[in-house]
Amino acid sequence: MAIETVGIVGAGQMGNGIAHVFALAGYRVLMNDVSEPSLAKAIDTIDKNMERQVSRGKISAEDKAAALSRIATTLTLADLGQTDLIIEAATEKETVKQQIFDALLPHLKPETILTSNTSSISITRLASRTDRPEKFMGFHFMNPVPVMQLVELIRGIATDAPTYAALHEVVKKLGKTAASAEDFPAFIVNRILVPMINEAVYTLYEGVGNVKSIDESMKLGANHPMGPLELADFIGLDTCLAIMNVLYDGLADTKYRPCPLLTKYVESGWLGRKSGRGFYDYRSGTPVPTR
């Protein structure tokens, strides 16, 4: 399974980061989104992030130019059908992901591998709706993709050994480390991380501490580089809530019940950094706790 071309569905924070690392590793990348401004913004973000790497001596200006030349964009999802590997990096909603794979199926080469960057949704269930469950895997990158070293590889119940081996090799070529996870809700990282964030929100909800004291306690008391509420804002509160709901629904254990305050923030549209407000207000340029 020689992989040379990669199709990426979604040009948001995860999609453009994935495009960035694949292009630098020598793959030809075709990135798809539903709007031209989203694609233009993604290319601009990749350009700026690569320029930061150049300024820090991580890559050369020639590396950057070559990588950017390997990235193309398209508004037509069907165009991705002729790539060797497709990575779906759309919003964390199963219905949306299913619609994307349904639309792709008629256009795929027989050997194309399908993957999802989902952080929590069942790979077996997503794969079962396609014509190639044996060539379907979870390919979960961490955010921000150019910086974080881990990639979770999640096999569905039908995933075959050559598909797993091919993606394991891809991760090595990207210069990252693969962690193999079984296909259970939220896999490894988010099974541990997001309930911790949810517990921090409960600590805020119950008045045990305020935003500042909770984050400072975990940074200085547990040596975390970022407090859990600051991290929730970085991930996106809607994503955190979606993962908690997957855990709660999939494992039927009350310890995964999403905190009502987290739900309230999402209902208000305060989703974190991307919306300007979450547990912190970012609109002035300096983060200010909202509680």
Catalytic residue positions, numbered: 119, 140, 152, 190
CA–CA dist 173, 151 (Å, integer): 12
CA–CA dist 35, 89 (Å, integer): 15
Paired strand residues for 34: none
Burial class (CB in 10 A: 0-12, 13-18, 19+), 169: middle
Locate the DSSP E strands across the chain: 5-9, 28-32, 71-74, 85-88, 113-116, 136-141, 150-155, 177-181, 280-281, 288-289
Cα three-residue angle 157-8-266, rounded to 5 degrees: 80
Is 112 strand, coil or helix? coil
Cis peptide upstream of residue 162 (ω within 30 degrees of 0):
no
Which amino acid, residue 260? P
167 touches 1 (CB < 8 A): no
In this structure, are strands 280-281 and 288-289 parallel, antiparallel, or unpaired?
antiparallel
CA–CA dist 201, 259 (Å, integer): 7
